[in-house]
């Protein structure tokens, strides 16, 4: 309990710092949403002060001192009320986030978990059979795949599998003729649209999990307790999984916690290339449109998800490795 209480105290302190930083960062950006709207209007003629005031009132641009804005922001965080989006006015921030979040969690979350499980198992097999083709093939393949950036792989798949071969749709989360509903037709159409973004994330992230687990596993196989387990006549699978892999997975588990926490943030480049309406796509448009309420809500959600994932990984560390509780 003392170990958990310490981690919980650090979590609360880090959360407050992140919430405060999330308030100041958008306000350090030059310009404002009202300036962007007025710049568009000024192309048709001069804009009066009354028009500017009306635009600011319509968009709900913050007024008052910085301290008053900070207190109002904290109240919004507690009540999860982030107001109206500037870019997608008059839609509320909460409705937009709730619409985009399921697409990102299903796409990035599921693919991240699948990539971690596959990469870990392949890494264990490669280390246990080191020096054979079961080691060289995944290692070379993983190194080769991990060198490609997300957006480059996305563009290749989009061009060949989408435009040349016409195997998959090239944009969106579902067809324009499909009505979103929990029906087999919609689910099949959504899965078809998610195939290329999911394949992009899987291909570019799988190699890192394979190589990381393989290297950690090889170092663990040289420890005395593994040699002692083999000398006792235990089966190879038991030694590999219950002795070596259990300790070798700890560094990968840290990376998995960070990756899982980043799921909520989506994959901005992949979602942008495929026009996939997830959190990453929404965040990109919020930054371009200087949408303070939407940016603050998304940054806060991403930060909290990363902190919660790290907290859970710390607790899991204490379960898997009792030495961390000392």
Look at residue 84 and give its three-state secondary structure. strand
Q: Report if residue 35 sits inside a domain.
A: yes
217 and 320 belong to one structural domain: yes
Q: Residue 165 and residue 246: Cα distance in Å, rounded? A: 43
DSSP state for residue 106 in the 8-state scheme: I
pLDDT reported for residue 271? 79
- Give every residue of the chain whose pLDDT is below 70, as ranges: 26, 29-45, 47, 52, 55-64, 261-266, 318-326
The β-bridge partners of 92 are 84
Looking at the chain, the whole-number percentage of residues with pLDDT higher than 90 is 0
pLDDT reported for residue 37? 64
Question: E strands of 64-177, at which residues?
Answer: none
Cα first-last separation, the chain: 12
Q: Report if residue 83 sits inside a domain.
A: no
pLDDT reported for residue 278? 82
User: Which one, of 300, 272, 296, lies nearest residue 286 by Cα?
Assistant: 296
247 and 281 belong to one structural domain: yes
The domain boundary residue, chosen from 28, 51, 78: 78
pLDDT reported for residue 79? 83
CB 274 within 8 A of CB 197: yes
The domain boundary residue, chosen from 78, 113, 145: 78
Look at residue 183 and give its three-state secondary structure. coil
Q: Report if residue 31 sits inside a domain.
A: yes
CB 248 within 8 A of CB 255: no
Q: Report if residue 195 sits inside a domain.
A: yes
pLDDT reported for residue 313? 76
Measured from the Cβ of residue 290, the count of other Cβ atoms closer than 10 Å reads 20
pLDDT reported for residue 147? 78
User: Which one, of 102, 54, 70, lies nearest residue 296 by Cα?
Assistant: 70
Q: What is the CATH number of the domain that holds 177?
A: 1.10.3720.10
Residues in the chain: 326
Report residue 224 as tokens: 């005395």
68 and 114 belong to one structural domain: no
Look at residue 92 and give its three-state secondary structure. strand
The domain boundary residue, chosen from 18, 50, 78: 78
29 and 116 belong to one structural domain: no
110 and 56 belong to one structural domain: no
98 and 209 belong to one structural domain: yes
Give this prediction's pTM.
0.73
Q: Could you please report the per-residue DSSP string of 267-318?
A: -HHHHHHHT--SHHHHHHHHHHTT-HHHHHHHHHHHHHHHHHHHHHHHHHHH
Q: Report if residue 88 sits inside a domain.
A: no
Q: Report if residue 86 sits inside a domain.
A: no
Q: Report if residue 240 sits inside a domain.
A: yes
14 and 43 belong to one structural domain: yes
pLDDT reported for residue 7? 77
71 and 120 belong to one structural domain: no
Residue environment code for 35-70, b if the CB has 16+ CB neighbours within 10 A, otherwise e = ebbeeeeeeeeebeeeeeeebbeebebbeeeeeeeb
Q: Which domain holds residue 35?
A: 2-78
52 and 195 belong to one structural domain: no
122 and 145 belong to one structural domain: yes
Provide the number of structural domains found in the chain.
Answer: 2
20 and 134 belong to one structural domain: no
Q: Report if residue 85 sits inside a domain.
A: no
Q: Residue 199 and residue 259: Cα distance in Å, rounded? A: 17
62 and 97 belong to one structural domain: no
């Amino acid at each position: 309990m003392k170990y958990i209480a310490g981690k919980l105290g650090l979590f609360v302190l880090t959360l407050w710092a992140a919430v405060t930083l999330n308030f100041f960062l958008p306000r350090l950006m030059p310009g404002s949403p009202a300036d962007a709207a007025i710049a568009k209007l000024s192309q048709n003629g001069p804009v009066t002060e009354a028009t500017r005031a009306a635009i600011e009132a319509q968009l709900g641009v913050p007024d008052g001192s910085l301290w008053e804005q900070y207190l109002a922001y904290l109240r919004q965080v507690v009540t999860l009320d982030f107001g109206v989006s500037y870019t997608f006015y008059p839609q509320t921030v909460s409705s937009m986030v709730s619409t985009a979040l399921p697409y990102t969690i299903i796409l990035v979350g599921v693919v991240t978990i699948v990539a971690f499980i596959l990469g870990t198992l392949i890494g264990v097999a490669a280390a246990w059979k080191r020096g054979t083709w079961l080691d060289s093939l995944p290692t070379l393949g993983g190194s080769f795949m991990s060198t490609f950036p997300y957006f480059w792989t996305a563009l290749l798949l989009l061009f060949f599998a989408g435009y040349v071969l016409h195997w998959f749709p090239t944009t969106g989360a579902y067809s324009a003729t499909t009505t979103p509903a929990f029906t087999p037709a919609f689910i099949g159409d959504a899965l078809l649209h998610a195939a290329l973004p999911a394949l992009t994330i899987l291909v570019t992230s799988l190699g890192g999990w394979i190589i990381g687990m393989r290297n950690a596993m090889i170092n663990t196989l040289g420890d005395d307790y593994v040699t002692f387990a083999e000398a006792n006549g235990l089966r190879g699978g038991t030694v590999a999984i219950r002795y070596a892999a259990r300790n070798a997975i700890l560094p990968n588990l840290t990376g998995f916690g960070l990756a899982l926490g980043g799921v909520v943030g989506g994959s901005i480049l992949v979602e942008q290339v495929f026009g996939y309406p997830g959190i990453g796509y929404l965040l990109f448009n919020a930054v371009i449109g200087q949408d303070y309420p939407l940016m603050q809500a998304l940054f806060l959600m991403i930060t909290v998800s990363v902190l919660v994932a790290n907290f859970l990984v710390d607790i899991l560390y204490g379960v898997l490795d009792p030495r961390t509780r000392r």
